[in-house]
Amino acid sequence: MTDRHIIRRIRGMDTSDGAGVKLKRIIGQPGLDMLDPFLLLDEFRSDQAGDYIAGFPEHPHRGFETVTYMLAGNMLHKDNHGNSGDLTSGSVQWMTAGRGILHSEMPQQENGLMWGFQLWVNLPAKDKMTAPRYQDIAPERIPVVHPAEGVEVRVLAGELAGATGPVEGIATNPVYLDVSLKAGASLTLDLPKGHHGFAYVFDGEAALVGGEPLTRSELGVFSDGDSIQLKGGDKPSRLIVVAGRPLNEPVARYGPFVMNTQAQIHEAIADFRAGKF
Ligand code: CO
């Protein structure tokens, strides 16, 4: 058994996306371009309507998956194939864009807190042109476990303490956990060896991850191993722990298109312009 530890730390960078939604970009910025198979991680958090009200109007995706985890607030998701879904507080949407969709994510509130994450997960070359697929998971379908004293975990994907997350059939075999730690509480979390993984502290002041303090809005990349040690700081804290099987394939990336070669990117742009999404 090998303990994982933190080999790199990255602080979220303030930016905006969509029609001007303010957010912190954590993966997919100069400090951490990607962490195979993860291409992007954004945290959006504001109680100022002006920071989020314009939402994410219609835009395309091809070649990967977008995962939206709502902590607070309400967004309506719609795509050009007639699918729609209500992203409510505590829900997760795992969207496999595959060969392509056009979609929008628009706030359904004019005030109050809007808080959550969007994660982009790459698809293997063989699945990049698969049919689009949605897993819209309501909050009550996400198991909540207490694997140790003072520890509560929502299991979005992967397995923990006899519970299995509702997200299934994903090529990179992901783990996605929302971990709440009371002050001083500790937990050893098993993670599949070989998976790339990280923790990101999004509430409270700090938590100890692999024996090292990670402060709020800081992401720690794990070394390889079988498990990671988590421990609460002086006050309660909350973090996401995410891991996935790396693809080790070439990545050609242009905005919302993530393929393996530049020629496939040109094809994606041409298909998008020709209305083939
Ligand atoms: Co999108």
Kindly report each contact of residues 247-250 with a partner whose C-beta sits within 8 Å and lies 24 or more positions away, as own/partner: 247/36, 247/37, 247/122, 247/124, 247/125, 247/172, 248/36, 249/122, 249/124, 249/125
CA of 77 to the centre of ligand 1 (A): 9
Distance in Å, CA 159 to ligand 1 centroid? 27
Q: Residue 120 C-alpha to ligand 1 middle, in angstroms?
A: 9
In this prediction, residue 112 carries a pLDDT of 94
The model carries a pTM of 0.97
Using the mean position of ligand 1's atoms as its centre, give its distance from the Cα of residue 41 in Å.
Answer: 12
Query: Which of the listed CATH numbers 2.60.120.10, 1.10.300.10, 1.20.58.340, 1.10.10.10 matches domain 6-273?
Result: 2.60.120.10
Distance CA 214, CA 128 (A): 35
Ranges in the chain, pLDDT < 70: none
3-state secondary structure (DSSP) of residue 139: helix
CA 273 to centroid of ligand 1, rounded, Å: 17
Report CA(44)–ligand 1 centroid distance (Å). 14
pLDDT at 12: 93
Distance 60 CA to ligand 1 centre (A): 7
What's the CA-to-centroid distance between 104 and ligand 1, angstroms? 7
How many angstroms is it from 67 CA to the middle of ligand 1?
9
pLDDT attached to residue 1 = 81
